[in-house]
Amino acid sequence: KQTLLPLLREETSSFIFPCHPAVQRPERQYMVMELLRCIPLLLFLLFVCGLDHFIFTILSIIQHHSFVQYSYQASHHLTVNVMGSSLMAELLRGTIGALNTSYDTEVETSNLACLPRPSEMTRQQYLDTFLPLGLLALLCLLQVYPFRLRRAIAAFYFPKREKARVLFLYNKLLRQRKNFLHLQRERIARQARQPPALGTSLLQWCRRRWPWLRRFLRRSCTLCGIPETPRHRPCPDPHCSALYCESCW
């Protein structure tokens, strides 16, 4: 409850508010780890698609620059002429004349049947390949919202355990706040013992010399770093120039 223990600015970043639409800091750390697990799969898909395109390019070059076509033409003519009108000449013309042949040969062939016929992946196929990975990354971004229901479900079925958890969290916050204030007091004391830098001294002198410059030379809270507002409170020690916001004061 806000009325029971109002959270400080530093404590707010360590809690998850279920009704807040934005992804909060604890959820962001888990979400980044889940997204990092998708990177090896993305690299693998990029490698496979790159290797596919490389092989397609090589086969396409072979297909276009390794085509060879052969053309063979031959002509054969054989004629035996037997002169004379004797019986022997007639007999030779009847027997040897059968050897007269004439033919033309024309052969065309190529290595087209042996060449590769690669087919490149279409844009739709690339989209279908990377679409599951995109859905997985989207689920990594959206899973933080269903995870917020775990505490509500556990509190509905185990109310006593929920009460014990709330008391434990309350006491834990009190201990952390006490230690936090102790550490911050020591840090501010060490910072106050150090001599101010030349730029800091010059800004303070300008603010005292010309009060209208305070609108532009705004300071910040010494503890949490929130820019100066009218509700900020300076340290009552006249020798101390520290400035605190309302919650830190």
Give the contacts of 246 (CB within 8 A, at least 6 positions apart): 231, 232, 233
pLDDT digit string, tens, across residues 150-165: 988 999 999 999 999 9
Tokens of 38: 């998708």
**Amino acid (one-letter) located at 156:** F
Tokens of 132: 């599951």
Mean pLDDT taken over the chain: 82
Give the contacts of 59 (CB within 8 A, at least 6 positions apart): 116, 118
* pLDDT of 207 strictly over 70: no
Q: Report d(CA 198, CA 202) in Å as an integer.
A: 6
pLDDT classification of 216: cutoffs 50, 70, 90: low
pLDDT digit string, tens, across residues 145-200: 999 999 889 999 999 999 999 899 889 888 888 887 788 788 877 877 776 665 56
Q: Report d(CA 112, CA 66) in Å as an integer.
A: 9
pLDDT classification of 3: cutoffs 50, 70, 90: low
Question: Which residue bears the tokens 């840090």?
Answer: 187
pLDDT at 44: 95
Tokens of 54: 């490389």
* pTM of the predicted structure, to 2 decimals: 0.59
Yes or no: say if 218 and 227 are a contact pair by the CB < 8 Å rule.
yes
Question: Which residue bears the tokens 């009704």?
Answer: 19
